[in-house]
Amino acid sequence: QASYLPKLKFKPGRLPAKQSQPRASAFKVAVLGAAGGIGQPLGLLIKMSPLVSHLNLYDIANVKGVAADLSHCNTPSQVIGFTGASELANCLRGVDVVVIPAGVPRKPGMTREDLFNINASIVKTLVEAVANNCPDAFIHIVSNPVNSTVPIAAEVLKQKGVYDPKKLFGVTTLDVVRANTFVSRKKNLRLVDVDFPVIGGHSGITILPLLSKIKPFVVFTDEEVSELTLKVQNGGTEVVEAKAGAGSATLSMAYAAARFVESSLRALDGDSDVYECAFVQSDLTDLPFFASRVKLGRNGIEAFMSADLLNLTNYEAKALEALKPELKASIEKGMAFAQK
């Protein structure tokens, strides 16, 4: 099970005789939208990773202070702040993983789709810069609506001739984090033992936790299945309402995004047991993009865990069919925007 905790790659006992420190960390990570509600705690969590050598923080405002602040933490990575379009290229050059949480969050009463008009352009512009400066990087899209912003990113990368579908990810880790938390609480399970995929997309009914695939084996009543599914689907809205106009999930999202970064870095570092759910280009259904569990390796997605979609319960099979029209419309909206 992939859980977010910084891991030292070498135990001291295995180090070469003269080396007293763990191996120097090697990877460069950039966060675009780094001064925001998600960006700041995400920067802090990435700063804690021993796998990171450079942490580049970009925002259109207030990012130099965030970078100065984080740079005082005594962990290995070097932190630099970049601001304004003129500094974006330097932020991205040579980067291995780019995380994009730039854009506006929801307010009460808004759906993720309502963010499209503003965030679509922001993601388009930022991904163009990624294509120009670090086309080989893993790209993690956090900005909502993820169901549309990932197809936008794919189209932009295609137009630039650098699209690698194995390296473009919509970050749905928060759905997995929430699903694991809610189910563990409900069924009194140890969090560390619980694991199951959340598939589909990242908005309302497109989020589909597959409770039938849970490890360890647990029996759910029909009522529990529908209650837990709804709770996962509405997790974001619960936070938006509790924050009452002050934004959407930021801390749990930063935690989830940091877990996905750490998993990507472990994969880049050669670990062979890295599995995460993400919204990616996919052949698993008739939709061009779909969230599922994937195996990550040095070159991005190595395999799709297609067995997760076999032997679904009636409830899950129906929910899967029900989510497809909405997800399809969001994907097409994103593609059309980028092709304009």
- List residues binding ligand NAI (CB under 6 A): 32-33, 35-39, 58-61, 101-106, 115, 119, 122, 126, 142-144, 146, 171, 174, 202, 247-250, 253
φ/ψ of residue 104, rounded to 5: -90, 145
Nearer to ligand NAI, 110 or 225 (CB): 110
User: Smallest distance, Å, CB 183 to ligand NAI?
Assistant: 18
User: Smallest distance, Å, CB 269 to ligand NAI?
Assistant: 24
Under 8 Å between Cβ of 280 and 147: no
Nearer to ligand NAI, 36 or 151 (CB): 36
Distance (Å) of CA 305 to CA 7, 189, 301? 25, 24, 11
Q: Known catalytic residue: 202?
A: yes
Judged by DSSP in three states, 102 sits in coil
Nearer to ligand NAI, 76 or 247 (CB): 247
How far apart, in whole angstroms, are the C-alpha atoms of residue 275 and residue 267?
9
Nearer to ligand NAI, 277 or 287 (CB): 277
Q: What is the largest CA-CA distance in the chain?
A: 60
Give the contacts of 5 (CB within 8 A, at least 6 positions apart). 262
Kindly write down the DSSP assignment for every residue of 209-278, as one continuous string: E-GGG-BS-----HHHHHHHHHHHHTHHHHHHHHHTTS-S--HHHHHHHHHHHHHHHHHHTT-S-EEEEE
Nearer to ligand NAI, 41 or 50 (CB): 41
User: Smallest distance, Å, CB 26 to ligand NAI?
Assistant: 26
- Count other C-beta atoms under 10 Å from residue 152's C-beta: 28
- Catalytic residue, candidates 54, 72, 140, 202: 202
What does the block give as tokens for 171? Answer: 């970050």
**Bridging pattern class, strands 198-200 and 207-209:** antiparallel
Distance (Å) of CA 299 to CA 132, 166, 203, 268, 270? 19, 7, 28, 7, 10
User: Smallest distance, Å, CB 140 to ligand NAI?
Assistant: 9
User: Smallest distance, Å, CB 154 to ligand NAI?
Assistant: 16
CA–chain centroid gap for 72, Å, is: 26
Type of residue found at 7: K
User: Smallest distance, Å, CB 280 to ligand NAI?
Assistant: 14
User: Smallest distance, Å, CB 84 to ligand NAI?
Assistant: 9
Nearer to ligand NAI, 59 or 96 (CB): 59
How far apart, in whole angstroms, are the C-alpha atoms of residue 226 and residue 122?
36
Nearer to ligand NAI, 122 or 220 (CB): 122
Dihedral angle at the C-alpha atoms of 200, 281, 156, 166, nearest 10 degrees? 130
80 forms beta bridges with 56
So which residues are the catalytic ones? Answer: 202
